[in-house]
Amino acid sequence: MASDIMQEDDLGKEKEEVQEEALPLEVECDLELKTILVKLKKPGSALSWECELRELIGNTRDTYLERQSKMGDMKTGVMRNFKDLHSYLLALTLWDLETKKTVPVEDIRNFPASVQTRLFKLSVKLSDLDDKAEERAKNA
């Protein structure tokens, strides 16, 4: 019996204590949306299509995350449906500077996969949708 108690004490000592972080006394946030200028070169032309990736606003971010949750298991990260995985986010974040409207998903579907992937990764980071978002927020 004494050895059982000793083992329990040893296990208790090995557990790490979880310490809560102190809350800041003051926070200053900039409400201006972050943007990235995007120049899409048209094939066979010197002309480019000027667009802008824009950070999502909170409501649109929540709509995007709700859609993503229906496409797979958010806990495990296993996706069941990949339809418009990249193009849907880009249709929310990629703005045509000439028309002042978002680029339609139908147009984005026709972008080369490499362009979609590059812009998708930028959009994810721009709107803090990636795994490191919480860490960046803590360090800000």
Q: What is the pLDDT of residue 6?
A: 47
* Contact present, 130 and 124 (Cβ < 8 Å): yes
**43 compared with 138, residue with greater pLDDT:** 43
Mean pLDDT of 29-41: 94
Mean pLDDT of 2-29: 65
How far apart are the C-alpha atoms of 111 and 87, rounded to whole Å?
Answer: 9
pLDDT(40) > 90: yes
Q: Kindly provide the residue ranges of all beta strands, DSSP E only, lying in 1-140, ordered along the sequence.
A: 35-41, 48-54, 72-73, 78-79, 94-96, 101-102
Task: Of 12-16, 64-68, 99-103, 104-108, give the lowest mean pLDDT range.
Answer: 12-16
pLDDT(49) > 90: yes
* Contact present, 74 and 60 (Cβ < 8 Å): no
Task: Of 77-81, 84-88, 100-104, give the lowest mean pLDDT range.
Answer: 77-81
**Domain 32-139 indexed as CATH 3.30.2220:** yes
Mean pLDDT of 110-127: 95
Confidence of residue 134 (pLDDT cuts 50, 70, 90): low
pLDDT(123) > 70: yes
Instruction: Establish how many alpha carbons lie within 13 A of residue 67's alpha carbon, considering only the half-sphere containing its beta carbon.
Output: 15
**7 compared with 101, residue with greater pLDDT:** 101
